[in-house]
Structure 1
Amino acid sequence: MKQLTRWLLGVGVVLGARLPDVAQTQPGEQAQVYTVTNDGAGGNFHLPQVRLANTAVARRINRQLLGLVTDYSSAIDSTASPRRQLTQLARECCYDEESRSWLAAGSGLTGMTYEVLLNQNYLLSFQFQREDQGLAQPGTSHLTFDLRTGRLLTLAELVADAPAQLERRLGYAISRRLHDELANVVANYGDDSTMIAHVAQLYGISEWNTTPQAALRLDMGNGSGGDPYESRLHLTEFALRPNALLLFYSVGMSRLNFEFLPDETYVFPYTRLQPRPLLQPIAQASASKKK
């Protein structure tokens, strides 16, 4: 009897204890993302589509996602299912009607793949990589949606930092990275001045000194002049991760030079930005995880 009493008291303590708070996901706060692919042996199209409680918003997002590839063709039946549209696109790029066979590489846009970078707090951010003539291209493209409305968001709607300031910070980061990359080339090809000069030209560096202190001076100057990369920057290409804003800068070069291709992604933690209300919940969640 005493054992039964102690057991009942123990159960009462457990039931009466306050359970830890668990964050609840609100309807529509996250999208259900699924992949649509093309039929047939040609093409490599893997496009995201979303499901949301608000079907009108989901349709708006899905049309924009499909448009990434279907807008390249006027022969696509926009009333067909997404899979059917991708199959039509694959046949157009990669099927030879005369020989009635699929081409090994295809022509023009032959594929698209994607990655979900962020899907929380009513924000959905994608990264896409396209294939041309069967070959993956080095640069990526990005779309970020408001899951409440289905609108594509601009950077100015997410951060309050002045565009000129962000461009300057990105320009300095690009300059530092390219000088570091050139220093690696010098380390690997130190006896080949022609190769070093060639890579410097690819990076748009007309003069260089590969010591860290000199590279820093080249990056920062005396603070009065503009950054050499600033005029080439466009802040329309961005994406979101749970802990940072991503900005991008691709160095154009032929496939023969891809061994010298630097990473195009530049990471700006939310703690070093001024998030607007749309982005503040994600920035606050990221800061809480670091504590």
Structure 2
Amino acid sequence: MRAMCLRWLLPVLLLSFNTVHAQRPAPGKAATRRAAARAKPAKPKATVPAISQATILNVGDTLDGRFVVPQVQLPDAAAAARINAELVDAALGEDLQVVPLPLTALTGLRQAVSEYTERDQKGFVGARYEVLYNDHGLLSVALTSDLLGAYASSVTRHATFELRTGRLLEVRDLLADTLALRQRWQESINRRVADHISKLPTEYAQLDAPLLAEVKRRLHWNDSTLTSQLEGDDPRFYDFALTPFGLTLYYDFGFPHVLEALQPETDYLFSYATLTPWLKPRGLLDFKR
């Protein structure tokens, strides 16, 4: 994986061709006039080259690199364009007050710097990213926005792509049985919340009975069933990422800033060994079998 600092990209389109050979009649048989005629060579078919990794480019503003977004370079320019559009939207478009059209890395960065200056260095104050996985034709990125208002905060979003097509993936694109994973995930949430609640009184001495009750309410915790009774169809696969170790799902209970320290960790890692029974046959993660 290579990284370089650019303001624009010049993706290179590479095409690979298969050569088709004419077959000769089997030896020992008299060839008919039609069979003996040389077959017309078929037109070579363009194929999409196998792509293992993407080249990641840092695209940043001139304001001390406060706003930096990733862009990719791939043999297929169309696939790269699809990925780059999604990355810019997740990194900048979600937090800008005014979204420029067209939204590109260059126009988005200009708008971010402009808003940062006009709002006296408040609001959307920074963008950064981390590449979590870039191999076997898959790319997974964490994009973090830094915000400053009455207090400092940050929001991290995740995006996972198929490099061959540039498609933004969902969990159902990777697994044949998402219902089984969702059930396992609910069990993991129950265990984590139970463990978290049991440790709170010793880890937070200032925690009184009313505050503990409020934490349990926000965690949808039922003392009788020892389960976190989530609302609606939760937990849902809104936010996920691939890593070298497995699939990470994220569930945030949405605690307000003043109570954020009392919320359990939001990431749940499922190893590839755990996922094996649920993988799609000949799917995108089949190499992990």
The 8 Å contact of residues 171 and 228 in structure 1, kept in 2 or not, is answered as no
Shift, 1:147, TM fit: 0.4
> For the aligned residues, what is the CA RMSD?
2.6
Q: 2:87 aligns with which of 61, 65, 75?
A: 65
The 8 Å contact of residues 143 and 152 in structure 1, kept in 2 or not, is answered as yes
2:283 paired with 1:275: no
Shift, 1:65, TM fit: 1.0
2:80 paired with 1:50: no
Amino acid paired to 2:211 = M
| Matched residue, 1:21 | none
Q: Distance between the aligned counterparts of 1:272 and 1:265, measured in 2? A: 16
Cα distance per residue 1:90-116 (max 9 Å; x no partner): 212x223xxxxx613x23x43322111
Q: 1:141 aligns with which of 146, 151, 157?
A: 157
Higher-helix-fraction structure: 1
Q: Distance between the aligned counterparts of 2:99 and 2:184, measured in 1? A: 43
Q: Sequence identity, in percent?
A: 30
What is the correspondence of 1:95-244 to structure 2 with a 5 Å cutoff? 95-96=117-118, 103-104=120-121, 106-107=122-123, 109-133=124-148, 135-137=152-154, 139-161=155-177, 163-189=178-204, 192-207=208-223, 218-219=226-227, 228-229=229-230, 231-244=233-246
The 8 Å contact of residues 31 and 51 in structure 1, kept in 2 or not, is answered as yes
Count residues in correspondence: 231
Shift, 1:132, TM fit: 2.5
Q: Distance between the aligned counterparts of 1:44 and 1:198, measured in 2? A: 37
Q: Distance between the aligned counterparts of 2:135 and 2:194, measured in 1? A: 36
Unaligned runs of 5+ residues in structure 2 are 1-48
SS at match of 1:149: coil
The 8 Å contact of residues 189 and 195 in structure 1, kept in 2 or not, is answered as no
The 8 Å contact of residues 125 and 240 in structure 1, kept in 2 or not, is answered as yes
The 8 Å contact of residues 50 and 164 in structure 2, kept in 1 or not, is answered as no
| Matched residue, 2:54 | 31
Q: Distance between the aligned counterparts of 1:67 and 1:194, measured in 2? A: 41
Cα distance per residue 1:24-59 (max 9 Å; x no partner): xx8631001122122337x93221111112222212
TM-score scaled by length of structure 1: 0.70
